[in-house]
Every structure is written in C-alpha cells, then in structure tokens.
Amino acid sequence: MQLILNQSVSTETIKLLCLRISEIGFKGYPVKDGLTFKINIPNADEVKISQLKSVDGVKDLVHISTPFKLASREAKQTDTIVNVGDVAIGGENLCVIAGPCAVESREQIRSVAEKLSDMGVKILRGGVYKPRTSPYAFQGLREEGLEYLADVKKQYGLKIITEVIDTHSLGYAQEVADILQIGARNMQNFELLKAVGKTNKPVMLKRGMSATIHDLLMSAEYVMSEGNMQVILCERGIRTFETATRNTLDLNAIPLLKQLSHLPVIVDPSHGTGIRELVEPMACAGVAAGAHGVMVEVHCDPENALSDGMQSLLPSQFNNLYQKINRIASAIK
Amino acid sequence: MQLILNQSVSTETIKLLCLRISEIGFKGYPVKDGLTFKINIPNADEVKISQLKSVDGVKDLVHISTPFKLASREAKQTDTIVNVGDVAIGGENLCVIAGPCAVESREQIRSVAEKLSDMGVKILRGGVYKPRTSPYAFQGLREEGLEYLADVKKQYGLKIITEVIDTHSLGYAQEVADILQIGARNMQNFELLKAVGKTNKPVMLKRGMSATIHDLLMSAEYVMSEGNMQVILCERGIRTFETATRNTLDLNAIPLLKQLSHLPVIVDPSHGTGIRELVEPMACAGVAAGAHGVMVEVHCDPENALSDGMQSLLPSQFNNLYQKINRIASAIK
Amino acid sequence: MQLILNQSVSTETIKLLCLRISEIGFKGYPVKDGLTFKINIPNADEVKISQLKSVDGVKDLVHISTPFKLASREAKQTDTIVNVGDVAIGGENLCVIAGPCAVESREQIRSVAEKLSDMGVKILRGGVYKPRTSPYAFQGLREEGLEYLADVKKQYGLKIITEVIDTHSLGYAQEVADILQIGARNMQNFELLKAVGKTNKPVMLKRGMSATIHDLLMSAEYVMSEGNMQVILCERGIRTFETATRNTLDLNAIPLLKQLSHLPVIVDPSHGTGIRELVEPMACAGVAAGAHGVMVEVHCDPENALSDGMQSLLPSQFNNLYQKINRIASAIK
Amino acid sequence: MQLILNQSVSTETIKLLCLRISEIGFKGYPVKDGLTFKINIPNADEVKISQLKSVDGVKDLVHISTPFKLASREAKQTDTIVNVGDVAIGGENLCVIAGPCAVESREQIRSVAEKLSDMGVKILRGGVYKPRTSPYAFQGLREEGLEYLADVKKQYGLKIITEVIDTHSLGYAQEVADILQIGARNMQNFELLKAVGKTNKPVMLKRGMSATIHDLLMSAEYVMSEGNMQVILCERGIRTFETATRNTLDLNAIPLLKQLSHLPVIVDPSHGTGIRELVEPMACAGVAAGAHGVMVEVHCDPENALSDGMQSLLPSQFNNLYQKINRIASAIK
C-alpha cells in the first residue's frame, strides 16, 4: 500500500504517520517523489491501513501491484538520483566509474588513479576483497588495499567504490568506500544485502549471472527494506550458451529496468564481454540503450594484471571510450 | 588455403586458376579484397595447391586458420558491401529496413509502404510465407502476398526483403524479392541455405535462437560455398533463461561478428525484445555497437496486426527512432 | 473441439461426420482412445460444430483447452502405440534403437547390423543425409547409403530409421526407411514437418536444441495435422550454459511429455551427452524416468568413425547397457 | 603436487611431513586413498617439494593436473564415504534424505519426522534459515526452528540436515545439525564456504543455478582447503530457457561428477523439477544415473505448506518413491 500525502505535509506528520503504521504492525518508508510526499508500506493490510486515510495530510491510499514495493516505478515515479558527495548518479547525468579490477599495490592504484582523475573521472573502482572461483587464486589485498584506496581518495579527491563480501569486509570497507559494491555472486546473499541495507552508504548491486530482472529488483528490495534507498543497479552480463564472450551482456535489461524501477542503472561492459576490443562498442551501446553510467576496468599494464587483464583497457583506450560515450549521451537527449 | 594474386592480374588468369584448382579437385572462390585479388580454396590440400604458386600472377599462398573459409576476415579483410540496386549495405552505410511482420492485405502493405517511403526508407520488409509455431496460426498470404509486394515495389520504388522457407517459396519469392531472408528457425536448414546460395540474390541470414556466433558464420559459409557471396548477417535475439523479454537481443554479437567476418551485420530489435517500448532504445544501442543497419517492424494498426503486434511500432514512432539512430551513427564516426 | 462418439459407432458414421465437419469448414481427425471413438476438430467454432451433437452416434462435444489439439492427453487419454511391423513403440514396451551415426560403407553398416541383430535389437539407425554444421564436413552417402541400409534390412530383418532433411531425401528415404527421423535442427522446419505428415510412415521427431516442451509438441502437431498420427518424440539434449557435456540431456522432459501427451517418448543419450562414458548411466536414467525407449549410437570402430565417434559405444559396451536398461524397466513396473 | 607414501607409514611421519610442507610455505592435506596414504599439496612448487622425496616413508611425488587439487579423482581415487554417525553416504550406499522445505511448527516437524522415521528414513531435512527471493516472504523460524529439530532428533534418533546462510546461523545450527547445507544461492559465497570448512561437520553443497560442474567442484575445493573433507555434492537443477519445469534437473552432472571427483553425489528432484508428479520419476532417474542418494521434500499437508508446497510429496507418495529407488539401486548393481 502507499499513502499519498499533501504537498504541504510537515515532517512531523510524516514521522507521526510512520509511528502509527508501526503501531498497526507494518513498516512505513517515506519517499519524496518529485514534489509529492508518499509513504510506502510493503505488504500492508488494506483494512488496517485504511484508518490512516482520515489523518490530516493524507490525500490518498493506493495499492502497489508489483512485488517490488519500494524499488518499482509504481512506488516512486520520478528517477532516483543517488548523490555521492558532489557526484550525481541517475536521472540525466552520465556517470563514469573506472579503475582496475583489483588493487594490486600502492603504486599500481596511484598511477591509474592519477591518469583517470586527469581525464575527469570522479569515481574510482578497485577491489580489495576478491571473490575468486578458486581458493588458490589471488584473494585481494584486503585491509592493506583499503589503505591504498584511502590514499588516492585523499590525494585525487576521487570517490571510491569497492566490493564487500561479508560482515568483516563491510566493517572495514565502509570506512573508505563511498559506494559499496555487491558482486554478482553475492546478489542473492540475502544476509549481506540486509547488512548493507543497514548502512548509510550507496550500494551498487550487480546482477547475478543467472538472475532475472525480477530477481535483481527483489534483491534491491532487500537492501531498501532495511531503510537504505540509495541503490544503483548494474547490468554485467548473464550466463548463456554463447561462449564466444565471457558473459552475455544483456542490454535489454537497461530500458526494461528503467521502465520497471526508479533506480539508476549502470552497465559494466568489461565483465559483460570479457574481451578488450568489445568494451568500447558495448559501453557505447549501453549508453545508447539509456544507461545512467558505465563502469569500466582500466589498468596501466593489463598484460600483468593479477585479474581480468584480458578485459582491461589502457588509460588511453579508456579516454577514447570516454569521449565517445559523451557524444552518444548528447545524441540521444 | 588462399592464393594472393598480383594487383594487375587479368580476369582470364583468375578464370584459368579457378579451372586449374577445379582440376586438382577443389573449388576456387575469387574475391576482390580492397585492391587485391584473391582466390579462396576451402579445405584444400597444401601440397597439391602449392604447384599453383609458380603460375604467373600468383603472389603468395597463405593458410586460412578459421573454419569460415569464405566468411572470415582472414579470407577477406575489407568490409563486404552488399549492393541492392542503389542501396548499399555494409561498410560506412547505415541501412534501415522497415515494414510489417506479415503482409496482410493489399491496403495494409500499401499504406505502410507509402509512409515509410515518405520518410526515406529504401527497403521494405513483409513476410508472405510465415513459419509459425502452431499449424493453426496464420501462415501468410503466400503468392497473393507476393503480388501485393510487387505492387508497392513498383509504386514506391522500394526494395523488398521477404522470407523463404523451402524450394517452393524460393521459386516464387525470388521473382519479387531483392533480398531473400532466411529466418531464425531455418538457420540450420542446410538444404535451404544451399538453395539460396545458388541464386544471385542477396541473402539475409538471421541468427537461430540457440545458435552461437560460430554456428551463424558456418551457416553463412553454406550460402557462400555455393557461390553467393552477398550474405547479410542479422542478430535477432537468442533464447536464455530471461523471460521478461521475448528473446535476449545479444548486441555483443555485433562487434564480435565485425571482428571475425567481413560481412555486414544488421540488428532486429523487434524480434530481439518483443516489446514495443524497447525497440527504440535497443535499435539505438545496436547502431552504437556498430551495426550496419536495423530492421524494424512497423504497422499502421499494431493492435490488429495478424502477427507480432506487440512489438510493432506505429510509423510515427518509427520516425523518432529513425532520426535518433542517424544521430548516433554520426556520433560514433 | 472434440466429438465423443458411442462405442458402437460405425465406420460409416465416422466418415460421414468427418465429411460434415469438412463441409462446415473444419477438419476432423478420428481417433480410437481405448474403447472410445472420438473425432478431434482443431480450432473449430463451437456454435457451428454444435449442430453435430444431434447426429446419431454422437455422445458429447467437449472443449480441448491445450494448443496441442491432436498431440495432447486431452485429445487422447490412452498411450499411442506406434507399430513398426511387429515392433511396438509406446505403452509398456521398451524400444531399443541402435546403430552408427552415419552409414559409412557397405561393410561398416553390415558388421554393426549383424552384431546388433544377434543381441536382439530390432531397429537399426544410420544416417545417410547428414545435416552438418560445416559445408565442408562429410554430408553422408545419400542414395548410396540407402542402398546399404536396404541390404541389411533384407538380410537381418531389421527395421530402419534414417533422417530426412528435405523433399528430395524424403522421396528416396521412404522407400527404405520404416521410421523417418526429423533431426533437432529441422524441428521447426515446418514445411518438412508437413511433408512427412503426408506420408504413412512413423516419424521420430527430435527436440530442437533450444526448443521448449511446448515447441516440441507444437511441431508434433504439424505432422499430425496433416493426418499422420504415428509420431514418436525424442529427447536428445538442449543447449545450456554447461559445456562439460555436448548438450544437457533434459530427462525432466520425459515424465512431463508423458503427462502432456499420449505419444511415445524416446531418449537419445548419445547426442544428449556427447561422452561415451555417460551414455550408459544416462540411458539407464532415461528408462527409469519412464522413457518408452532409447536410441544409442553404436559403431564397431568408434576411433575411426566419420562422425560422432566420441559418443559411440562398441557393440560389447552397448550389450551391457542393453541388459541394464531391461533390468531397470522391470524394476520400475 | 601429491606425495604418495608407503602403506606402512606412521602417523608421526605424516604429521612431520605436513610440518615440513608448512615450513616450505605450502599446506599439506593427508588423505587415505584405499590402503594408500597420500598428502595433497595444492599449488605447490615442484622444485621446493622435491626435497621431501628423500624423506623416509615417501614413495613418490606426482603432479595433479586438475584445478581441483583436493576434490578430484586424481587427488583421491577411491570413493569418499561421509559418515554421519552410523549412516554412510557415498560408495555403494543409497542415502535417503527427506523432510519439509521449512520447519513451520513443533507439531508439523514432529508429525512428518515420525512418519519418515517409521519408514526407515535416517536423515531429516528442514530449513530454519530460509533464503527467500522476497524480503517479505517467510524467512524461517530460525533458532526456534532449531529447537524443534533438536527435539525430533532426540525423539526419533534422526540425523538432521539444515541450511546455514551466514556466520550467525552457522553458530547456532552446528549445535543441532549433523550435516550443514549450503544452498544454491550461496554456492559461491566463498566466505561462508570457508566458514563451514573450518567446522568438523559434513557439508552438503548444492549446485548453483548457473554453476557449471567446474564451478561446483571449485566451491567444494574452498570447503576442503580449510581442512573439512566431508563434502557431499548435490545436483538440484540449473536455470535454462525451459520454463515448464522450475529448474532443469541436470542428471548428466551425476555420472560426470563421479568421474571427476571422489565425493558423494546426491540428487534433489524436488527443487530440480518443482512439480510433484515429476519428483518420483526423476528420483528414480537420479539413482539409475548413479547418484549416491536422493533428497526429497515431504510434507503432511502440502497444500498449506509455507514454502514449496507444489513440489512436496505426501508421506505415502514418498513411500512409493522409496520402494522404487531401492529396486532401481539393486537393478543397476
């Protein structure tokens, strides 16, 4: 159910209404949808909630038909803008995230951060807790890597996105990260979703390899139902019968997610294709499909990268891509 | 194997070489690759072919490592341009094909043809032999439909593309069609591929629902091995676990096919998504990914279309798409 | 719609009813379902057909809700038994089909036929028209191969199943074959389905690599709607993300097809797995899942087979399998 | 690398060798393979390990070529038997696990436990921490549910298997559970795998929905690399394009896993199909394919089950299945 409030409603009334909702046995999630204030009440009993219709400031009570009680366009019609300091993700903005798959050393992350910062990139990616298929593969620099990220964050004024994989890594990473990333393999690690939902950090949620659009939105719902509404969705390729690409980047998901949800949608052509030469055309295609941004793996020495070298761009290659996607973003406006 | 000839080689020498190749027991396929003449000789025995190295006009003999002896970039490095009268498909050109899923009546096809022609569309699609999942569904107007296509072809000067499904339909359709379409379900109907390979009409080959990129190129090879080099590849969506879209339009295939092959690549966002609202963004994405053209279903009355109404655009909606993809084509140049 | 007739109804009445149905504009397909005679009338207009309710011998008129108007359990509740001479396929019988992927020479097919016949196998498989992914691969011995099959058919009294791929091959093959096979790649070659539907030979229809259960039954419907009710369904593996096996043999299809349809269901573990060591366990599993039979590739010299050697069993290996599936068939009765 | 030891080697020597391996910088995992003692040393440097060849008791040093350094048949040739009290899983034994999807109440679990115990079932399943797609769905009784499981464990002498989803649930569950289950969605939650790898409880690892056989074995490797060798693999269906079944139970995985690994393999036809009528035939098929056991959802009142009612069997239906799989197990021996 959703309570639609008068535009002039006061913060006190909203608080009061949430309290009343809670007394009835449900949970209210206030949201500002354009100029209108609303309170979403997932899975609420219509009869019980109806009594609130008479409260001063309440305009209407409507039913939300989708299972995405907080993530759907029904719940909020206007695009959500996730603000990371002075960087806005969503709406009309084109967000660019770049950096190496993994933080490998102080010097490695510093050199790539400097180059990306010079080009105008605002958000740096870099994994320190790495979920790898093999227990014997490089598992990330962990807290040491966070320290290096903290350094470049300070030095270049970059925002940092990094992956968390459990409560331990979450505890440490949230000290440094501006955006917490949930990787594809953990998209249905519901306990982890609840944990990041309890933080006040934006969360980038990557689509699982066999997750439907519906599954992805339900996982976003897990984060949001804990009170954290700053969720960014990320299409990064699904697993299909085609083996010529590492994954099948499913760009159809972009316009579809934008239709179904108010959350920003980012595309990751690096993991989505796994092939360096395909990263630029698919980044362009993602933006043309309407993505709010791209996340691209960039490494100063891809041949010697500890992970994902095959799909990493050199800074100069990334710069070409960067120019091109900006031109496309203008062309489709 | 591939014979590389001197630039000044005469047509007679090429003919003679092909004859010699044939006498040795293989088949030679001459091709002009930029300014260079070459003769591809699939599955030839190196020892036997080596004797031709001494023939005047032969510059070199090289090995083709891919299984696509005629369709691969190795076999021909420059983009193939398929010329359909004055319409060029491939290379730097952006080709737009539009029209209804099926020809339903003389008036239906005339009205949409007129509108599309007015907008500048040069190639009209319209199925008359319809491969339908159910034997009880509308199977197309067959020869009657071809007559209607012939009329609009004459009246509006449009080029016609229509699907063929067996030798019967091929016999009739090639009288009217400028391009013969092989549908997804027949992509591995090898006897049909051989049959269209024996015609002198351009062939648009749609990717099968579970066909890999490799499979698609091998099917193109079937057509080409019969001597017809005018093959256009078409990505139209693959079958995956995702059911939110009718198919999963696999745009990764576009840059990958362009890397592997010299043939033009077209994208069909109508069948690829099955959802009207997704056709425009995915057409844009396809062009941004590097497609040489798009094929879009347009109908003046989608609600009452006999097939695929859900994914058909109104002419006005198509016009928006048409403007947008042209802007994107400029942006990525 | 379906007309249910009195048990004592005469052949003349059935003929007369079919004529009346035809005059009204539909087509009637009489079927004996256990002791009851019925006439299925796909896509008929209820109002128009209702007038037949008063005809003497007509007991009831019922609606068929599935799209499989002839292939579904609704249309016919009792198992269909396809009789190939004295060999019965379907119902309680366990049918075993064995033989090489392709007929390669007179001696090759003779030697394997002899061994299989000695073991008690009644139906021999052997392809002579081979749909191969590459135009340069061995395409089968064609009419020459049919001649060899005709020989072993006569010599050992074996029934022959062989694949047809177009009207040409159909014309020749039906002179020799007892069962016509439609391969996976042609499962939605609807013109071919109609063509075999017009013959009086049993048809084995293999599931396409990306065909759903629904698609498979609709393709069976194509054959049946032409009047040929002797259709045998064959599960032979679907295309999934898993590449450790050639295909993913989908045994779930077996109990599901038996629930939805009255047609016999056969399993092909050779193509389904592509790995010799998996053929026996998956044949056993198929029978335990309720398959009416198995089709297995057997070759006297798999290492030198012209196709599918990797998945072919030696006659001795096949004999073990043969014993085992018979024990399982007894165990689940 | 793998050290092969003399049959008469003493426990002290093995300990000493492991210490030496550790000093060189690697980790040694001793294993008894039939009558032979071996020490597996994943990713060890051959040169460094070679010095151990001269140690008394060391017979040979061999290379393990697969990435599954502990889970592969190369690492251990004889079947691993996981002993859960007096119940043996693996080898020639047929293990049967049954019970409801979720523990719903004291009475619900008691009644089904009693019936299953009477039939001879030794291991009871019942989820108390439920990973559900929606945050608003029933999430399990958690510690309260564990208490109910502890009761029936005591009353009926049943072994208990239940799912753990994070360190919290693991802490509580291992007090009651005899086998810890890792669900499909957590198959690549590597931190959880490491955590259960540090316990001394057998672990049942369910294959993820889009996990290849290779992925599954790498996840088993995560558990084993922490020292816990008691891993049971479970095939429970993968995600494919087919939607007629909830998942596509991939029985090919069973003989393939048995070929590649020494670990026991169990099949779950309930989740694998999602359709009650398919559970029995697919359980039979699984056993015929060589599974070491089956896990089946049983509920005394499936219509009112809080989860998975559609795929749950009544105790009486389960009893039929139980008889049948035992007959099949005998038939294939």
State the SS3 of chain A: CEEEECCCCCHHHHHHHHHHHHHHCCCCEEEEECCEEEEECCCCCHHHHHHHHHCCCEEEEECCCCCCCCCECCCCCCCCCEEECCEEECCCCCEEEEECCECCCHHHHHHHHHHHHHHCCCEEECECCCCCCCCCCCCCCCHHHHHHHHHHHHHHCCEEEEECCCHHHHHHHCCCCCEEEECHHHCCCHHHHHHHHCCCCCEEEECCCCCCHHHHHHHHHHHHHCCCCCEEEEECCECCCCCCCCCECCCCHHHHHHHHECCCEEECHHHHHCCHHHHHHHHHHHHHCCCCEEEEEECCCHHHCCCCHHHCECHHHHHHHHHHHHHHHHHCC
Q: Which residue of A has its CA nearest to C240?
A: A241
Q: Answer yes or no: do A288 and B243 touch at CB < 8 A.
A: no
The beta-carbon neighbor of D221 closest among A135, A210, A225 is A135
Per-residue pLDDT of chain D (333 residues; tens, 9 = 90+): 999 999 899 999 999 999 999 999 999 999 999 999 999 999 999 999 999 999 999 999 999 999 999 999 999 999 999 999 999 999 999 999 999 999 999 999 999 999 999 999 999 999 999 999 999 999 999 999 999 999 999 999 999 999 999 999 999 999 999 999 999 999 999 999 999 999 999 999 999 999 999 999 999 999 999 999 999 999 999 999 999 999 999 999 999 999 999 999 999 999 999 999 999 999 999 999 999 999 999 999 999 999 888 999 999 999 999 999 999 999 998
Q: Which residue of B has its CA nearest to A333?
A: B324
Which subunits sit against B, judged by 3+ Cβ pairs under 8 A?
A, C, D
What confidence tier does B309 reach under pLDDT thresholds 50, 70, 90?
A: confident
- Residue in C171, C176, C137, C131 with CA at minimum distance from that of residue C158: C176
Q: Which residues of B touch D237 (CB under 8 A)?
A: none
- Residue D212: its chain C contacts at CB < 8 A? 241-244
Q: C46 or C150: whose pLDDT is higher?
A: C150
Judge whether C167 and B167 are in contact, CB under 8 Å.
yes
pLDDT tens digit string along B132-156?
999 999 999 999 999 999 999 999 9
Q: Of D210, D239, D241, which is closest to B239 when you measure between CB atoms?
A: D241
ipTM, two decimals: 0.95
**pLDDT value of position A308:** 85
Q: Pick the residue of D27, D41, D70, D185 with the most A CBs within 10 A to test the interface with A by mutation.
A: D185
Whether D277 sits inside 8 A of C259 (CB atoms) is: yes
Please indicate whether, in this complex, the C-beta atoms of D213 and C242 are within 8 angstroms of each other.
yes
CA angle A54, A57, A62 (to 5 degrees): 65
Average pLDDT on C219-239 reads 98
> Is the CB of residue B33 less than 8 Å from the CB of residue B43?
no
D16-57 confidence digits (pLDDT tens):
999 999 999 999 999 999 999 999 999 999 999 999 999 999
Q: Do D289 and C290 touch (CB under 8 A)?
A: no
- Cβ-Cβ pairs closer than 8 A, B with C, add up to 78
The proportion of chain C whose per-residue pLDDT surpasses 70, expressed as a percent, equals 100
Q: Note whether C243 contacts A240, CB cutoff 8 Å.
A: no
The Cα of B263 is separated from the nearest Cα of chain A by a number of Å equal to 18
Q: Tell me the β-bridge partners of C96.
A: C294
CB atoms within 10 A of CB B23: 8
Burial class (CB in 10 A: 0-12, 13-18, 19+), A169: buried
Write down the pLDDT at residue C148: 98
Q: How many beta carbons lie within 10 A of that of residue D310, not counting itself?
A: 14
pLDDT of the residue at D307: 86
Q: How does strand C123-125 pair with strand C95-99?
A: parallel
Structure tokens at C131: 């749909």
Interface residues of chain B, partner chain D, Cβ below 8 Å: 210, 239-241, 243
Report, as an integer, the average pLDDT of B85-94: 95
Query: What is the CATH code for C2-62?
Result: 3.30.70
DSSP line for B72-128: BTTT--SPP-EEETTEEESTT--EEEEE-SB---HHHHHHHHHHHHHHT--EEE-BS
How does residue B274 score in pLDDT terms, banded at 50, 70 and 90? very high
Residue of chain A nearest B209, judged by CA positions: A241
pLDDT given for residue C307 in this prediction: 86
Q: How does the average pLDDT of chain C come out, rounded?
A: 96
CA separation, residue D278 to residues B69, C255, C301, D254, D292 (Å) = 47, 6, 38, 18, 19
How, if at all, do strands B231-235 and B179-182 pair? unpaired
Helix (H), strand (E) at residue C124? strand C123-125
pLDDT at residue number B63:
94
Question: Are the beta carbons of C239 and D210 closer than 8 angstroms?
Answer: no
d(C-alpha D46, C-alpha C292), whole Å? 54
Mean pLDDT computed over B42-59: 92
pLDDT band, residue B333 (cuts 50/70/90): confident
Gap from B224 CA to chain C (nearest CA, Å): 10
Closest chain B residue to D248, measured at CA? B241
Domain ranges of chain B: 2-62, 82-332
Split at pLDDT 50, 70, 90, the class of C309 is: confident
Helix (H, G, I), strand (E, B) or coil at C117: helix
The C-alpha atoms of residue A182 and residue A169 are separated, in whole angstroms, by 11
CATH class as words, domain B82-332 = alpha beta
Cβ atoms of C268 and C64 within 8 Å: the answer is: no
Interface test with A, best of B252, B324, B328 (most A CBs within 10 A): B252
Q: State the best of A139, A190, A210, A216 to mutate against chain D, taking most chain D CBs within 10 Å.
A: A190
User: Does the distance separating the beta carbons of A251 and B213 come in below 8 Å?
Assistant: no
pLDDT of residue A319: 97
Helix (H) or strand (E) holding D24: helix D11-24
pLDDT at A333: 84
Quote the minimal CA–CA distance from D211 to chain C in Å: 8
Number of neighbours of residue C174 by Cβ within 10 angstroms: 16
| C135·B225 Cβ contact <8 A | yes
A267, B263 in Cβ contact below 8 A? Answer: no
User: Measured between CB atoms, which of C210, C239, C241 is closest to A239?
Assistant: C241
Shortest Cα–Cα distance, A102 to chain C (Å): 27
Asked if the Cβ–Cβ distance from C244 to D331 is below 8 Å, we say no
Sign of the CA dihedral with A248 first, then A251, A254, and A257 last: negative
- CA–CA gap between residue D287 and residue C312 (Å, rounded): 23
H or E segment to which residue C324 belongs: helix C315-332
> In this complex, do D215 and A133 lie within 8 Å of one another by their Cβ atoms?
yes
- Name the residue among B213, B252, B287 with its Cβ closest to that of A288: B287
Helix (H, G, I), strand (E, B) or coil at D30: strand
pTM of the model: 0.96
Tokens 């009255």 map to which residue? C262
Distance from CA of B39 to the nearest CA of C (A): 17
pLDDT of residue B320: 97
| Rounded CA separation B255/B312 (Å) | 26
Chain C nearest CA to B101, separation (Å): 18
Per-residue pLDDT of chain A in tens (333 residues, 90 and over written 9): 999 999 899 999 999 999 999 999 999 999 999 999 999 999 999 999 999 999 999 999 999 999 999 999 999 999 999 999 999 999 999 999 999 999 999 999 999 999 999 999 999 999 999 999 999 999 999 999 999 999 999 999 999 999 999 999 999 999 999 999 999 999 999 999 999 999 999 999 999 999 999 999 999 999 999 999 999 999 999 999 999 999 999 999 999 999 999 999 999 999 999 999 999 999 999 999 999 999 999 999 999 999 888 999 999 999 999 999 999 999 998
Q: How many residues does chain C have?
A: 333
Residue found under tokens 């990616």: A125
Of A238, A242, A289, the CB nearest to B285: A289
